Structure 1
Amino acid sequence: MMDLVEAQPVVENVAGSRFEMAFPGGMAFANFRRDGDRLIVTHTEVPPAFNGRGLGSLLALGIFENARATGRRIVPACSFVAAWARRHPEFADVLAR
């Protein structure tokens, strides 16, 4: 299993409307649309060779932490992000109502 400590922090690529997380060997990302203070996360992707290593969860965590820190809310239109949010009720305050 890859050492996840080597994954870089999740950053918001404003121009690309996505969150990105670089790691040795690739990049995971999540596309989103803005709607006021809401971020509608529509798609997440981890390179297939790295599936099952927790990178998607690290990406989701970074997205939710970023939204909380910037006063925005998440609309999990992506099934992966929706499932992650269900498993992490400590971030319920970040979900759009």
Structure 2
Amino acid sequence: MSAADTTNLPIHHNAAAQRFEMRVDGHLAVLDYELQDGVMVITHTGVPQAIGGRGVAGQITRFALDHARAAGWKVLPACSYAAAFLQRHGEYTDLLG
């Protein structure tokens, strides 16, 4: 499965667990966060090695940031991947809290 093949896979917001989840080829990729006073603190982005290199982390991060924007939350990237993603994608700088 190529990166293009993962773009139509569903991403689920598991609000109870404070995470976004995406299943690819039976493997679960996640973005964990903590909601603190209207700020989504992204604490971890995890993609199993078996599905790495397909853009999954970027897709799940973009989905989480779009969700934060729609909810009116600010974002604090406490994980290195999310911080790097936000540096590369200026369209999300308005979310930085």
TM-score normalised to structure 1 length:
0.89
Q: Which residue of 2 aligns with 1:51?
A: 52
Q: RMSD of the alignment, in Å?
A: 1.3
Once residues 30 and 39 of structure 1 are traced to their aligned partners in structure 2, the CA distance between those partners, rounded to angstroms, is: 11
Which stretch shows the higher mean deviation, 80-89 or 44-53? 44-53
Indicate the SS of the match to 1:74. strand
Q: Matched residues, percent identical? A: 36
Once residues 15 and 26 of structure 2 are traced to their aligned partners in structure 1, the CA distance between those partners, rounded to angstroms, is: 23
CA contact (8 A) 1:7 1:24 kept: no
Indicate the SS of the match to 2:57. helix
Q: Which residue of 2 aligns with 1:70?
A: 71
Greater share of helix residues, 1 or 2? 2
Q: Which residue of 1 aligns with 2:30?
A: 29
Once residues 73 and 93 of structure 2 are traced to their aligned partners in structure 1, the CA distance between those partners, rounded to angstroms, is: 12
Q: Which residue of 2 aligns with 1:4?
A: 6
Which stretch shows the higher mean deviation, 56-65 or 10-19? 10-19
Once residues 45 and 79 of structure 1 are traced to their aligned partners in structure 2, the CA distance between those partners, rounded to angstroms, is: 11
Once residues 6 and 89 of structure 1 are traced to their aligned partners in structure 2, the CA distance between those partners, rounded to angstroms, is: 24
Once residues 52 and 23 of structure 1 are traced to their aligned partners in structure 2, the CA distance between those partners, rounded to angstroms, is: 12
CA contact (8 A) 2:42 2:79 kept: yes
Q: Which residue of 1 aligns with 2:16?
A: 15
Kindly tell me the number of residue pairs found equivalent between the two proteins.
95
Q: Write the letter of the residue equivalent to 1:78.
A: C
How far does residue 25 in structure 1 lie from its aligned partner after superposition? 2.6
TM-score normalised to structure 2 length:
0.89
Once residues 25 and 11 of structure 1 are traced to their aligned partners in structure 2, the CA distance between those partners, rounded to angstroms, is: 15
The answer for unaligned runs of 5 or more in structure 1 is none
